[in-house]
Amino acid sequence: MEVIKYTFPPHGDERGQLVAIEARKDLPFEFKRVYYIYDTKDGVRRGFHAHLKLQQILICVSGSCKIHLDNGYETAEVVLDKPNEGLYIANNMWREMYDFSPDAVLLVLASELYTEDDYIRNYDDFLKMIKEQGEN
């Protein structure tokens, strides 16, 4: 499985760092929604879904966390611990976020607005869909 990470160049000086991300310039999609996850308790896993259409970039802007990716054939574990590094997650990719540090803030840039119809929340349904796509 190919894991795609984007590095966003920091701009800074003795005052600190700034990272700017521009839609269609720095990302493979124009983002329509931004949200972040924080204050995740120890031992909690989040996600447990895939999307039919939506693509995402995940950036741990503070602290660290791990991402489990599954495309139906292979899995990968990715550590996010740099505030200027983003993980690209394509549609049709099962994801779980876990092992959040106490100070973790996970920022998500999403290609689509929220719609429940885009979610695949059952892992067996996800695997069935992947298998059917492979047969076509």
Query: For domain 4-9+20-135, which architecture applies?
Result: Sandwich (2.60)
Cα-based torsion angle of the residue sequence 14, 85, 46, 117 in order, rounded to the nearest 10 degrees = 120
Q: Which residues are catalytic?
A: 49
pLDDT per position in the chain (136 positions), as tens? 889 999 998 999 999 999 999 887 888 899 999 999 999 999 999 999 999 999 999 999 999 999 999 999 999 999 999 999 999 999 999 999 999 999 999 999 999 999 999 999 999 999 999 999 887 6
* Cα angle value 78/6/101 (rounded, 5°): 40
Q: What is the pLDDT of residue 136?
A: 65
